[in-house]
């Protein structure tokens, strides 16, 4: 049996080249080697207020971007978290074995809470819901960026605690895939990872941005005080631009040296912009085709949710039995003894 991979993305809009090069392109590469599940985590999105119409549109946009990136809906289940009731159900059960102190220690909680006037309980529970996303499918591998590694550690702690209280139930998820993708930094601030929520219009290149906008944003990117590319002394901004070019073009280090040593930054930026545009044009054409077919995205999401639900019933039934909750197992599709790999 193939090992199961699960990852999640918030439908917050503005998916950018960092998401593509760091995550989506990897998922595409590995999707046939594993049983892959890719979840659009709308229940996580509403831990802070979202305008309903915008959220709805962004869920479909995210699904469209998954498909345009090359995630194959026949191989991978693409689905929306709230279409699978098991996520919220398991989250409650896990909440009951999670010490409050573990959640209050989460750095993402502390950062997000500091930005809110009133702190919703959902913000505190966020990592428990994420643990439920993972444990519901007994996922062995969870490809996420560094910023999520504390949440993954917590998932393991919760799984361990549940297993020691109620008996072997959950597979321990491992933190990542052996090969991770390129780490794209902010164009305006190469000290931070490119982010969907960073303020400022010169931070990221969105996957759906027009060629003009791409040229403009890249032309404003932070470089360093050298006049031209010097591989020995370059700063993080120049390194980031070269990294983007290399990740899209698939060039070797030698090719990069030969092409860019001594190049002035204006020319470097033009070449990086054209490389990005060349790759995003066919991507955007696929996106337009996929999203212009009435009902297609919805049918992909329905099929993904059906597959995810079928797996989730087995885990929910097992967890209920372990905890002594009442179950008639109407939905149980597997022998609980076999549910743990």
Span 93-152, contacts to ligand TRP by CB under 6 A: 130, 133-134, 142, 144, 148, 151
Structure token pair of residue 222:
């932070």
Active site residue 112: yes
Span 26-45, contacts to ligand TRP by CB under 6 A: 41, 44
Residue nearest to ligand TRP (CB): 8
Q: Which residue of 8, 18, 181, 206 would you call a contact of ligand TRP, by CB under 6 A?
A: 8
Q: Which residue of 4, 5, 7, 93 would you call a contact of ligand TRP, by CB under 6 A?
A: 7
Active site residue 196: yes
Structure token pair of residue 140:
């062995």
Residue 8 CB, nearest distance to ligand TRP (Å)? 3
63 vs 66: CA distance, rounded Å = 5
Residue nearer to ligand TRP on the CB measure, 10 or 240: 10
Active site residue 269: no
47 binds ligand TRP (CB under 6 A): no
6 binds ligand TRP (CB under 6 A): yes
Question: Per the residue annotation, which of 2, 51, 110, 112 is the catalytic one?
Answer: 112
Question: Per the residue annotation, which of 110, 196, 302, 320 is the catalytic one?
Answer: 196
Q: Which stretch binds ligand TRP (CB under 6 A): 1-9, 51-59, 207-215, 237-245?
A: 1-9
Residue nearer to ligand TRP on the CB measure, 144 or 221: 144
Residue nearer to ligand TRP on the CB measure, 37 or 238: 37
Question: Per the residue annotation, which of 193, 216, 239, 270 is the catalytic one?
Answer: 193
Q: Which residues bind ligand TRP (CB under 6 A)?
A: 6-8, 10, 41, 44, 130, 133-134, 142, 144, 148, 151
Report the catalytic residues: 112, 193, 196
């Amino acid at each position: 049996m193939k090992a199961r991979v699960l990852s999640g993305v918030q439908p917050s809009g503005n998916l950018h080249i960092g998401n593509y090069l760091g995550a989506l392109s990897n998922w595409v590469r590995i999707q046939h080697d594993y049983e892959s599940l890719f979840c659009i985590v709308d229940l996580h999105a509403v831990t802070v207020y979202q305008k309903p119409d915008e959220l709805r549109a962004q869920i479909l946009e995210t699904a469209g971007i998954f498909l345009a990136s090359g995630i194959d809906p026949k191989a991978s289940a693409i689905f929306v978290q709230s279409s699978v009731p098991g996520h919220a159900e398991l989250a409650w059960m896990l909440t009951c074995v999670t010490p409050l102190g573990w959640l209050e220690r989460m750095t993402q909680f502390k950062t997000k809470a500091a930005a809110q006037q009133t702190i919703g309980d959902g913000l505190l529970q966020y990592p428990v819901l994420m643990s439920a996303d993972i444990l519901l499918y007994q996922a062995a591998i969870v490809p996420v960026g560094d910023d999520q590694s504390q949440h993954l550690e917590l998932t393991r702690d919760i799984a361990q605690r549940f297993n020691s209280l109620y008996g072997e139930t959950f597979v321990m998820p491992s933190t990542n895939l052996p090969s991770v993708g390129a780490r794209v930094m902010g164009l305006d601030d190469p000290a931070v990872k490119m982010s969907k929520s960073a303020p400022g219009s010169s931070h990221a290149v969105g996957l759906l941005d027009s060629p003009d906008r791409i040229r403009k944003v890249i032309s404003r990117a932070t470089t360093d005080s050298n006049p031209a590319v010097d591989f020995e002394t370059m700063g993080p901004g120049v390194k980031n631009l070269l990294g983007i070019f290399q990740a899209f073009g698939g060039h070797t280090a030698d090719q990069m040296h030969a092409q860019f040593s001594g190049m002035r930054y204006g020319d470097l930026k033009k070449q990086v912009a054209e490389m990005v545009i060349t790759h995003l044009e066919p991507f955007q054409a696929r996106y337009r085709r996929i999203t212009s077919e009435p009902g297609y995205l919805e049918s992909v999401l329905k099929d993904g949710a059906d597959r995810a639900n079928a797996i989730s019933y087995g885990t929910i039934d097992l967890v209920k039995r372990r905890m002594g909750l009442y179950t008639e197992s109407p939905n149980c599709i597997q022998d609980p003894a076999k549910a743990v790999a």
